[in-house]
Chains A and B, each alone.
Chain A
């Protein structure tokens, strides 16, 4: 269960911060993962990062969203 998508951390302030995907930026909470760092790829569910991802794993998931294929070089900084 549960919709969760890969996104990249762009900002951290305490336990909260922002994550971005293809220029979309959302606030997120990092209290459920260890040592979040800007630039890390994370899996985000209901506003929480629930796991860190290796960049190639993030890309693989994103590649499976069909339309992402064209923009795949675009991820990262908003």
Chain B
């Protein structure tokens, strides 16, 4: 198979191709080792400081349940939160296409401000660039965020017997965004779940839970999240299809569009791994947090099998969960 020498859309999909791009091109070019560029990182020489960056290119800019402004804040806050850090401050860089309506820009930034208040973070610095018409698709936002470490998340700490929890139903953000794309002619009442997960992490910390690992499954969905994590560890993650919460309207939307809910993006989900002994306490803390009523135990960690990540199907069969390729191709026939 010939080598890929151009960027494909799938390179941005959060799946296997993204990982390859990072490892083989970005890290190699930066002269960094294979430990990678995690979503949020410690800052060398500064104890307890966690630093993250993220970019937002969502299209359309406004969707049911959010917009690029609120999303940029929640997304950044969540990267920090699942690293175990209390989010403190954000930067916001705007790249704006010539001709973009100023009213719309203001609306987006106000939305970001509201999102920031919700998470008690401040947007302390920013940057604004304008490019000629046609050189950027309306608006891109880049953020950076800093937080103070309160707890840890370490894939190497996973042990057989650990329990996998999630704070609510999956696949909502992806469906909400897709439904508003032009050319799709699809209306739904599914709303994006874009929201901060920091309140959930805080509730866990306050309850005395010591998470093994925390993740926020975004692009690539729950499947990418667990497959990637399992691949990086020396255990196997076993999910239970019956236990994964999906709203009926989301499931119907996925069926209509030929998508697998496990691979559809989320923006307000926390996937948490805890020891068996702490599972009940953790689940209880999640359920008591606003928005976490449908938190569920969705799987377990077992000793490493032939494959890193599997799912027990509704029917008692077993299926392998792999890193999705990157651009999930909706099935029709």
Contact = CB atoms under 8 A, between A and B. Distances in A.
Contacts of A46: 332-333
A21 B249 CA distance: 8
Interface stretch (B145-153, B158-166, B184-192): B184-192
Interface residues of A, number: 24
Secondary structure class of chain A's binding surface, majority of residues: mixed
A71 B246 CA distance: 11
Interface string B221-264: 00000000000000000000110001111111101101000000
A3 B258 contact: yes
B256 A5 contact: yes
Secondary structure class of chain B's binding surface, majority of residues: mixed
Interface string B190-216: 100000000000000000000000000
A70 B258 CA distance: 21
Given A22-B248, A23-B249, A26-B185, A66 B333 contact: no
B122 to A, nearest CB: 38
A22 B185 CA distance: 16
Nearest to A44: B256
Interface in B127-170: none
Contacts of A5: 252, 255-256
B248 A7 contact: no
Chain B interface residue bracket vs A: 20 to 34
B2 interface: no
B6 interface: no
Contacts of B248: 22, 67-68, 70-72, 74
B306 interface: no
Nearest to A46: B332
Given A66-B314, A67-B246, A78-B187, A24 B252 contact: yes
Interface in A17-73: 21-27, 44-46, 65-68, 70-72
A18 B159 CA distance: 50
A68 B250 CA distance: 10
Contacts of B190: 23-24
Interface in B256-283: 256, 258
B332 A3 contact: yes
A22 B242 contact: no
22 contacts: A2-B332, A2-B333, A5-B252, A5-B255, A5-B256, A7-B256, A22-B252, A24-B179, A24-B188, A24-B189, A24-B190, A24-B249, A27-B185, A44-B256, A45-B333, A67-B247, A67-B248, A68-B251, A71-B249, A72-B248, A78-B187, A78-B189
Interface of A: 1-3, 5, 7, 21-27, 44-46, 65-68, 70-72, 74, 78
Interface of B: 179, 185-190, 241-242, 246-253, 255-256, 258, 314, 331-333
